[in-house]
Amino acid sequence: MLSYDVLILGAGPAGCSAAYDLARAGKRVLMLDKRMFPRHKACACGLTRKTLKALRYSVEPVVERVCHEIVLRHIASHTAQRVLVRTRDPICAMAVRERFDAFCLQQTLAAGAELCKVEGIVALREETDRIEVDIATAAGIETLEAPVVIGADGSNGQSRRLAEGLRTGKEVRAAALPAEPQWYARGFALETTVPYAMLPIALPGGDTPQDLVFDFAPLPGGYGWLFPKGDHVNIGVGAFAPTPTGDACLKSVTRALLTEYTEANLGITTLPNITGQYLGMGGQAYVPHGRVLLAGDAAGLVDPLTGEGIYSAIVSGQAAAAAILACDATDLTEEYARRLQPLQKTLAFSRRAAQAFYAHPERGFRVMRTPLLRSLVLKTYSDGLPPTKLLGILSKIFA
């Protein structure tokens, strides 16, 4: 049986950021991923300032565009509001997810972490001092062991439900996964890419192909977006705000809606490459348990106001690594819970803000007419939550 210091399920932003810090600290780390890299992942890959700051290395080689302006729109039959927000510092960097992830993985492997392609996880067994992980590979079933496992396999992965199974038993098998934990909720988003070469000179939506657009009219509890990349526009629709069931309004995100939205904004009707994925949410209520620490979408850490998840994935992966490096397994979960708390507080605020904002987006737009509040909202998106005093102002805005 092969032994590691840490096993990590998933080599996306959460898995890589955990593996990077652990490997740099001299730990023997193995990441297990069911996909070969580079691989496609549905994601508009907008990287806010706080995301770029959280990363341990520059991702400049894969940044395709840096945006200093955002167009915020709410154009419905009864209302037409458009706010252009311009800043001296860049608001958001644009990358293509396939290349961004491959680049981060390359840095992580160079730091000393290892990667193994798996078909999936077959079972987890919790022993007194370690976890045994049965994996399915092309060569058959193998067993690996480590004192701690990080579940970073995204919204559709197995680790969240496997970890849930270990709350009540010593072994959990993928063939009999327990239900999703109660705190977990889902958003959903669909996207496509349209090369600039295919676009008409004047766009029917009124923006230029290089504008970074958030559009709050097309669907309830979410937005449509246009993210300009090097040679194409990434256009999509997503639902993020929680409804009374916990999940966002998933049924509103359809291929028909994306097609209609793309036609209205880019004048294109045939979309060859629509892809989509659930976004993991509800993580403000996640309480770590045992020897499996969840990070990123697996832990439901996507921001329900903005749909942003790469930042949380990086920060939670790093928090898991820091907890492992700071203590032995006995108080590992408390340590991880403590380190995750600031992010969870932010997400709890975002959840309330999302419920208030998406119930009446036009009110949010009224707020944005005041330059001071506009820059505050923008700064929050790009840099994260401001100090407590400003947070008080934001809470009043969204109340």
At closest approach, how far in Å is the CB of 152 from ligand FAD?
5
From CA 365, how far away is CA 367, in angstroms rounded? 5
- For residues 189 and 268, which CB has a smaller minimum distance to ligand FAD in the complex? 189
Q: Using CB under 6 A as the criterion, what x/- string covers residues 249-288 for binding ligand FAD?
A: ---------------------------xx-x---------
- For residues 203 and 301, which CB has a smaller minimum distance to ligand FAD in the complex? 301
Cα 99 to chain center, whole Å? Answer: 16
- For residues 24 and 41, which CB has a smaller minimum distance to ligand FAD in the complex? 41
DSSP H or E segment with residue 232:
strand 232-239
H, E, C per residue of 331-368: HHHHHHHHHHHHHHHHHHHHHHHHHHHHHCHHHHHHHC
- Residue matched to tokens 């708390």: 341
- Per CB under 6 A, does 44 bind ligand FAD? yes
At closest approach, how far in Å is the CB of 120 from ligand FAD?
5
Quick one: tokens of 29?
A: 């780390």
Contact region with ligand FAD (CB under 6 A), list: 154-162, 201-209, 346-354, 380-388: 154-162
- For residues 171 and 331, which CB has a smaller minimum distance to ligand FAD in the complex? 171
Cα–Cα separations (whole angstroms), residue 338 to 166, 287, 342, 371: 21, 10, 8, 36
- For residues 120 and 246, which CB has a smaller minimum distance to ligand FAD in the complex? 120
Tell me the residue number closest to ligand FAD, measured at CB. Answer: 309
- For β-strands 232-239 and 185-195, DSSP reports them as antiparallel
From CA 380, how far away is CA 391, in angstroms rounded? 9
Quick one: tokens of 137?
A: 């590979």
Q: Using CB under 6 A as the criterion, what x/- string covers residues 114-143 for binding ligand FAD?
A: ----x-xx----------------------
At closest approach, how far in Å is the CB of 399 from ligand FAD?
26
H, E, C per residue of 79-141: EEEEEEEECCCCCEEEECHHHHHHHHHHHHHHCCCEEEECCEEEEEEECCCCEEEEEEECCEE
Q: Using CB under 6 A as the criterion, what x/- string covers residues 187-206 for binding ligand FAD?
A: --x-x---------------
- For residues 54 and 268, which CB has a smaller minimum distance to ligand FAD in the complex? 54
Question: Helices (DSSP H) in the chain: which residue ranges?
Answer: 13-24, 49-54, 97-110, 159-165, 255-266, 310-326, 332-359, 361-367, 371-383, 388-398
From CA 86, how far away is CA 108, in angstroms rounded? 35
- Per CB under 6 A, does 8 bind ligand FAD? no
134 pairs with which residues across the strands? 123, 143
Contact region with ligand FAD (CB under 6 A), list: 81-89, 149-157, 163-171, 199-207: 149-157
- State which of positions 299-358 bind ligand FAD (CB under 6 A): 302, 307-311, 313
- For residues 147 and 283, which CB has a smaller minimum distance to ligand FAD in the complex? 283
- Residue matched to tokens 């194409």: 232
- For residues 71 and 279, which CB has a smaller minimum distance to ligand FAD in the complex? 279
- For residues 281 and 397, which CB has a smaller minimum distance to ligand FAD in the complex? 281
- Per CB under 6 A, does 43 bind ligand FAD? yes
Quick one: tokens of 356?
A: 């208030």
Q: Which of 205, 218, 221, 296 binds ligand FAD (CB under 6 A)?
A: 296
From CA 309, how far away is CA 218, in angstroms rounded? 21
At closest approach, how far in Å is the CB of 382 from ligand FAD?
12
Q: Which of 23, 46, 357, 377 binds ligand FAD (CB under 6 A)?
A: 46
Residues of the shown chain interacting with ligand FAD in the complex, contacts defined by CB under 6 A: 9-15, 32-35, 41-46, 118, 120-121, 152-154, 156-158, 189, 191, 236, 238, 276-277, 279, 296-298, 302, 307-311, 313
